[in-house]
Amino acid sequence: MQEPRYFLAPNPSRPPLVTAPVLLLLVMAVLVIAGVLYTAARYFDAAEARRTCQRVEQMMGSAQNSLGLVLRDYAGWDATVTHIVDKMDMVWADENIGIYLAGGYRLSMTLVVDRKGQIIYGVEDGKRLSAARLQDFPLSDAMRRMIDQTVAALPGTTEAVTGVTRVGDTFYLTGAADIRPSLGGAARSDGAVLIFMQKLDRVAVARMLAPLLLEMIDIGIHPVSPEEARLPLREFGVAAEAPPVGWVGWRAPAPAVDFLAGIFWVLVLVLLALFGGTGHVLMRGQRAAQRETGANEALRHLSGRYRGLIDALPDMVCLLADGRVSLINAAGLSLLGLPADKASEVVGRPFLDLVAEGDRLIFHRALQVRGRSGVEWVTLSLVGSDGATVPMELAVLPVSGESVGEMTLVARDRRPELARRETVRAAETRAAVADRAKGQFLANISHELRTPLNAIIGFSEILRDELLGPLGVPQYREYAIDIHDGGLHLLRLVNDLLDIARMDAGTLELREGWVEVAPLIDRCERLLRQKAVERGVPVRLDVSPAGLRVLADEMRLKQIVVNLLGNAIRFSDAGQAVEVAVRLDGPTGDLLIDVADHGIGMNVDAMRIALEPFAQVEGGHNRRQPGAGLGLPLARGYAEAHGGSLTMQSTPALGTTVTVRLPANRVAGTPTVDN
């Protein structure tokens, strides 16, 4: 280890006497030179402050141009015309000009204003504005001037108008552009204006002016202190002589004055050195003695601090000299089973004696490669004072600046890590055993239940149809119908449990054949038509192109559609339509089955729960709809068994869309589809 060096400031000494004329001449010369240089530096710094103000103004203008370019791209986008002007699509607006731009371009606010001056859409800090907030949001006079100017632009592509606006006590870098097609055109009477706003607070202005390396940047309504440089802010469209609405301020750079301050003290030090030279020579011996005494005291103090620091470390730290232990901390003694006052039993011994015999070759290799490729840890065992081995992780590092034979050794106790690994391994084993036991239990209990259920269903059919003669009492036949329906429900549940168990075990078998898609969708709709009519939920089907066939297990493909359509009907209120659409994905040719409702919807956590077997989004007595929680998991399992997938998109209070994708190699009779 490199021995620390200490530098002690010499005690001040009394300078030798000099004549009064020489002292006065030196003082006057220094003052004259300092005065001339300081005056020149003030003029230079004033010019630099003006140049800095011009650069700040240019940076603000550059930020406005950048905002205008982005705004022009989105206002002149044909999709914006379609989804904002032709028909207001809130979801599209959130995904493309609202929430998306708030994170991508650091927009504080995005607004869409119609020709009546009403805000019809807005996003603030990544969140859509409520209807009340849209009505209450104040459009400043500057913003209205920007809107009027961009709407009044000549026919052609849209033009972005940018400038500074103020809303309350907050400043914004604002841009407005009339929404027009990419090929250009005149402003539409039913058009709208897209507005982007970036908040100009202290952080935003500092980020904008970061290339200028300015300090103490601030923005506010009132002027900053006179000692600081400042730039007035005027809202868009006002006269240049109008009073500013705010100020941007920063600490005025003074490089020349700062440089002269350093030079001044150098000159002072030179002058003081002239006066103190004689005293330095006379007291040289005394200062040398004081320096040596202070260095020895500081060395003792620092040595004690280093020792305390090393002893406080939880890992073993050793200093080796020619392979022998010259220093070891308290943690290292503890790992070897020795108290802190028994360091003498280890110090002076070869460290190799502490390494287990079978790991000594590993230790030799660690010594050979020490420090060549950074810190390299090796695992080996040390022998404690009681003869027990302690698993360790060890690294050997050379001591910088010392002889080749000295090195630092750091070792960690691996017993806690090994114990944690064993605990994790045991937990994983128990989980795997429990999972297999669960699957086996479901398979066994399902098989055991099917036999008596088949008997119940068969005998209830005999009683229901009175195959052996009339029952006599009409209630008996009604009871038989209830028994038969209940048995069929239980049998379907048992079959679902069996399929869940087969999916977990990877043994689900498919009886595949070519299935006409349109008739299958019609049969599923007829099967649930009565339920939809009872709830007042209209069901709309859209299968295109016609004549599609798919290679699939017809029973399980039907079960997928029935489960998804049944869920959509159950979770929709009266008047909320459910839509089933079958289409081909243009780029891939995959078959897509979309089942969409406009019901209660779900958040991300609820969707994750809904795809788990036996899980219910609303549990207990407060659950809105009954069910075993197997519909969506079965549908996803059946889709994946066909080499496809099931995905969900849902928004609370807006509805849910479930999409089943089957690969293109299972689709027949596929016409050419344009993307």
Q: What would the pLDDT profile of 606-633 be if each residue is shown by its tens digit?
A: 888 888 876 666 543 334 455 556 788 8
Helix (H) or strand (E) holding 420: helix 415-465
**Percent helix, strand and coil across the chain, each rounded to 5?**
50, 20, 30
Comparing 51 with 519, the larger pLDDT belongs to 519
pLDDT exceeds 80 at position 556: yes
pLDDT in tens, 55-77: 888 888 898 898 889 989 998 89
Region for 119 from its dihedrals, namely left if φ exceeds 0, alpha if ψ lies in -120 to 50, beta otherwise: beta
Per-residue model confidence (pLDDT) at position 283: 59
pLDDT in tens, 404-430: 567 888 888 888 888 888 888 888 888
Q: What does the domain layout of the chain look like in residue ranges?
A: 1-70+254-310, 71-250, 313-413, 420-505, 512-668
Per-residue model confidence (pLDDT) at position 658: 95
Q: How confident is the model at residue 378 (pLDDT cuts 50, 70, 90)?
A: confident
| 512-668 CATH | 3.30.565.10
Per-residue model confidence (pLDDT) at position 465: 72
SS3 state at 375: coil
DSSP per position, 497-526: HHHHHHHHHT-----EEEEEHHHHHHHHHH
Per-residue model confidence (pLDDT) at position 439: 63
Strands 539-543 and 578-584: parallel
Beta carbons of 537 and 578 less than 8 angstroms apart:
yes
Residue 200: name the closest of 213, 185, 217, 212 by CA. Answer: 217
Per-residue model confidence (pLDDT) at position 254: 74
Per-residue model confidence (pLDDT) at position 651: 92
pLDDT in tens, 167-207: 888 899 999 999 999 888 888 888 999 999 988 888 888 88
Section 521-533 average pLDDT: 92
pLDDT exceeds 60 at position 636: yes
Contacts of range 118-125, beta carbons closer than 8 Å, 24 or more positions apart: 120/88, 120/192, 121/84, 121/88, 121/90, 121/93, 123/93, 123/94, 123/97, 123/98, 123/99
CA 314 vs CA 309, 311, 412, 413: distances in Å:
11, 8, 8, 9
pLDDT exceeds 90 at position 579: yes
Task: Give the Cα separation of 541 and 555 in Å (integer).
Answer: 20
- Among the four given CATH numbers 3.30.450.20, 3.90.79.10, 3.40.50.300, 3.40.50.360, the one describing domain 313-413: 3.30.450.20
pLDDT exceeds 70 at position 289: no
Helix (H) or strand (E) holding 282: helix 255-282
Least confident range of 367-371, 410-414, 653-657: 367-371
Q: How confident is the model at residue 8 (pLDDT cuts 50, 70, 90)?
A: very low
Beta carbons of 536 and 575 less than 8 angstroms apart:
yes
Residue 79: name the closest of 182, 177, 191, 161 by CA. Answer: 182
Q: How confident is the model at residue 286 (pLDDT cuts 50, 70, 90)?
A: low
Per-residue model confidence (pLDDT) at position 400: 63
Section 277-303 average pLDDT: 68
pLDDT exceeds 50 at position 5: no
pLDDT in tens, 197-225: 988 888 888 888 888 888 888 888 877 66
Section 276-301 average pLDDT: 67
Q: How confident is the model at residue 672 (pLDDT cuts 50, 70, 90)?
A: very low
* pTM for this predicted structure: 0.38
Beta carbons of 176 and 140 less than 8 angstroms apart:
no
Per-residue model confidence (pLDDT) at position 446: 62
CA 141 vs CA 148, 238, 315: distances in Å:
10, 10, 68
Per-residue model confidence (pLDDT) at position 249: 81
Residue burial 265-288, b: 16+ Cβ < 10 Å; e: rest: eeeeeeeeeeebeeeeeebeeeee
SS3 state at 618: coil
DSSP per position, 80-127: HIIIIIIS--HHHHIIIIIHHHHHHS--SEEEEEETTS-EEEEEETTE
Q: For a pLDDT cut of 90, what percent of the chain falls above it?
A: 21
**What angle, 0 to 180 degrees and rounded to 10, lies between the N-to-C axes of helices 631-641 and 474-505?**
50
Least confident range of 12-21, 120-129, 244-253: 12-21
Q: Mean pLDDT over all residues of the chain?
A: 80
CATH architecture of 420-505: Orthogonal Bundle (1.10)
